[in-house]
Structures are given as structure tokens and as C-alpha cells.
Amino acid sequence: MTDHNHADLALLNARVLIPANGVRPGFRHAQAVAIRGDTIAGSGTNSTISAMSGSGTRTIDCAGMTLIPGMVDSHCHLLALAASLSGLDCSPKSASSINELQRLVKQRADGIPRGEWVRGFGYDNESLSENRHPSRWDLDQATFNNPVRLEHRSGHATTLNSMGLELAGIQKDTPDPVDGVIDRDSVTGEPTGLLFEMADFLRTRLGSTRSPDDFQLGIESLNRKLLSCGITSVQDAGPSNDVDRWHTFLKLKEQKRLSCRVTMMAGLSESRLGEFHNAGLVLGSGSKGLRLGHAKIMLTFTTGIMSPGADRLRELVIMAHENGFPVAIHAVEQEAIAAAARVIQVSRHAGEFQVSGIPEDRIEHCSECPPELVDLVRTSGATVVSQPGFIYWQGSEYNDRVESELWPHLYPVGELTRAGVPVAFGSDSPVIDPNPWPGIYAAVTRRTRFGRNHDGVRPSRTVTLEQALSMYTLAGARSEGTQDLKGDIQAGKLADLVLLDKDPFQVETGELPAIKPVLTILGGRVVWEI
């Protein structure tokens, strides 16, 4: 029988980092934490917490290690990450040429039934020796018996072989979809197999291209990956998220195959909002484990033309607001960031969306943001969800891919924070690894994984370790409007906690990327440990 007067779990001899309440991020310290059910019952000294324990209390000796709130990845793509973990690794470390991609595809095709999809993830055209994307004809040389689908590391491009194009119904006379581009041979006009911004199109045409076995394996790997990184909450930013995707997540939760708490954004379109409404799903619908979040809008500049245009963007924002959803606008390029900030600012000042308790509109990525845009973002009132991990993982590559005058202004979390812009962190996984600590390191130092800084270290471009850790915990919860439930170590909040092998405030800065969880607690239960 449960003793409701005593803790179910007591964590003793820890260095507990408790986010301080107030405007300036910081942490106060405790020695122990008591958990009752799925919530935190209290924190304090060992003696204080021991006094809350009884005969049925489980005790964990933390041996002086550091205890922090469970980490919140405020922008990732869960099912894509699951697919990448079970699919063919086509990243630069596995394939540095199209010949190597062909070898990997052939090897996978030879081991699966005829007609089953070969799915590959993470190729990078600029890292291939040929310095180009693979074409349908390249992939045809690897297999004629299986459709092939390779995803670019950015998540914004896909290459199909000829069988894949046929199954998707893409032919010479197929028009480009509204928000996508079908690359074509300059002489013949035939589709090359390369597709830009067409994930939604392919999902509609093809449905799922994952086998049930691969899907199960991917979900199992996904669950382990997130928990081993100390991630207890994620916000799924899929632009195509619909009611079917909601039921997929719901089923995974009911089957206890996906442990972390999920806030699923709603892909924004007239039809999807209608489907959510008909299903009785509104902002915040669901449970502690699965809830409905912001409405996601993809705003791209891939072809040099903004899509959707300014008028349509405003229509989408108004539509979301009228249905009770704040928006999360994908904006990478300067032009897209400016458009997103302006439409949010206009909507805010017009009083279209001033409902108490509703989280702020968001700009996702805000990647290319020079000083003149920082002020525009600030006046918009938007929260920025940034991914400083890109500096760590891909910072060295920006020297070749991005105009030099923009280098200092990539993922400028320091400037945004000092301007008063609320900032939360995510990974955009599977584009990069979901592990938060490389991103925290990059936010604090602006250094790459090779320890180099490509744009010069200036204090204005970095944040403190206190700020960075808060952006991966309490600020992450605040970005989705759940700060009263999680992101902190306070009595009454959900007992989502991570015990670290090292104290981030006691190690050399260069050691931050190597910090690892020892155990992860979610809802008062130990769900992962070394």
C-alpha cells in the first residue's frame, strides 16, 4: 500500500541545480530531492528529504553528482529521427562519394525483399567528391528492383530513383507543387530524381515508405537515444503533422514504446485545422505525455522566391490565431526571418491574438540574423527557438557555404538574448544529433567540434552557461506554455530529472560536449541508466 505521506523516491547526496525564479537565469543549489508519484515533493538538505521518507521509500545515493531538470528539445522531428536510426546511414562519415552511396544502396537492396523501399538519410552533396546531388540514374545503377529514397542531411531535399519516381507519380509533365521544386534535366526536361521541399507531397502520394520492422526498430532506437541524452520532453515540429500523426503518437504512448513527453505541433493548412477541430483537438489537448502545441508554418526561400508569399503568410497566421493556435514559423534565411517577424508583429499589435495563458508565437531557427533583424525580432514579441548545435556540428562548413559577412550572425543567441528576445534551444534532429551538450558548448563558446571559432569570439555573441542550460530546460517548457508543469525542480512540478556524470559548472568549457547522463528520471520513474 502506498504511503501518501512519504516520498516514493528520495535522491540524496546530489548537487541539485534548481533554476532560479526571476528575470536573470541562474541556479540555486540543494542537496536532495523527494518524489511522490510523478511529481516533486520537495528539495533541500539530506536530512530534510530523509525526514520525508518512510519504509516504502526507494533511496538513490547520487554520490555527489549533479542533478538537473529533464532537458527539453524544443524543435525536433521524432519520426524522421526514428527512421534515420533504422535506415541507411548516408552521412559524410559513411559516404564521401556517389560511388559509395551506390555501394551502400546496393548492399541494403540485396538484403531486403524485391519492391521494398531502401531508405537512406544524411547525404550531403557538398561533402561528396563529385560535389553534386545523386540523380535517379545514379541510384538506378545500384538497384532496379527496389524503390530508393535518400534524404539530404538538411531535411529539405530528397532524391528518388526511377522506381521511386514512378511510385510517386512524378513524370516529365508533372507540375511543381505549390511549395516544392522538381529538379529537371536542362536538356530533356526529365525529372532528375532530386526534389526540394516535397516531404508533404511524397507523404500524400506514397504514405509510409518504412517497413513495420524498420519502424519498430527505429522507435526503440529513438526512445533509447533520447533518454540516454537526458531528454525528457520534445516538441515535434513536423510541418505535415495531422490527426493521423497524432494517433500514431497516441498509439506509441499507449503501447509505452515512446517514453518522453511529446508536444506535437499541428501542420498548418485549412484541411488539417478542420480535421483537428472535428476530432475535438485544440491547443493543449491531450495529457502530460502527449499534447497539441503550436501551428507549424514552413516559410522557405529555397528557390530565391519566398514561399508562401507575404499575403498568404498573413492569411495562415490569422487562420491559426482564429482557431486558438499560436504559430511556429520556420525561417532560416534573412528574408524569411524578416517576413516572419513582421507578420507576427502586425498580428500582435492588431490585437488578433491576445488570449491569456497562450504561449507566444515563435520563429524557428532564425539562422541568418544580422543586427538589424535582431531588433525586428524583438519588437515582434516572438520567441526564437534556435539550434546552436549547428555551430558545433557544421560550423566549419559554413566558411565554404555561407557568405563571410553572415558568419558572425548565424544562430546569434547572444545578440537575441541581450536584446530581450526569449530564446529556447532544440536540435532539429535528425539533421544533427539530439545530444544537448554540444549545443550548449557552442552557445557558450561559438566553437565547432574541432574547437575552432570561425567568426571570432565576442562576448555579445555568446551566452553564459546558466543561460544556455536554462534554454534547454525551463525556457524550453516556457516556449510551449508548460512552464507550470516542468522544466524546473520545484515542489508540485513533474519529476523529470537527469543525473549527470560531471558538474557542468565545475569542468573546463571544452569538456561540456562530453557530459553524459548517468540516469534519467521521467515522472518519478528511472527510465534509463548506465
Q: How confident is the model at residue 350 (pLDDT cuts 50, 70, 90)?
A: low
CA-nearest of 166, 163, 129, 134 to 150 is 134
Q: Which of 5-9, 459-463, 524-528 has the highest mean pLDDT?
A: 524-528
Give me the mean pLDDT over the 510-522 stretch: 98
Pairs from 399-405 (Cβ < 8 Å, separation ≥ 24):
399/454, 400/126, 401/126, 402/368
Domains and CATH numbers, the chain: 1-64+488-530 (2.30.40.10), 73-77+212-487 (3.20.20.140), 79-206 (3.10.310.70)
pLDDT in tens, 372-398: 999 999 999 999 999 999 999 988 787
3-state secondary structure 358-389: CCCCEEEECCECCHHHHHHHHHHCCEEEECCH
Q: Could you tell me what percent of the chain has a pLDDT over 90?
A: 82
Does 1 have pLDDT greater than 50?
Answer: no
Q: DSSP letter string over 121-171? A: EEE-GGGSTT-S---HHHHHTT-SSS-EEEEETTSSEEEE-HHHHHHHT--
Residues 210-229: b if buried by 16+ CB within 10 A, e if exposed: beeebbebbbeebbebbbbb
The band of 151, judged by pLDDT with boundaries at 50, 70 and 90, is very high
Q: What is the model's pLDDT at position 179?
A: 79
User: pLDDT confidence of 353, banded at 50, 70, 90?
Assistant: low
How many CB atoms within 10 Å of residue 408? 17
Find the largest Cα–Cα distance for the chain. 79
Query: Is the pLDDT assigned to residue 156 strictly greater than 80?
Result: yes
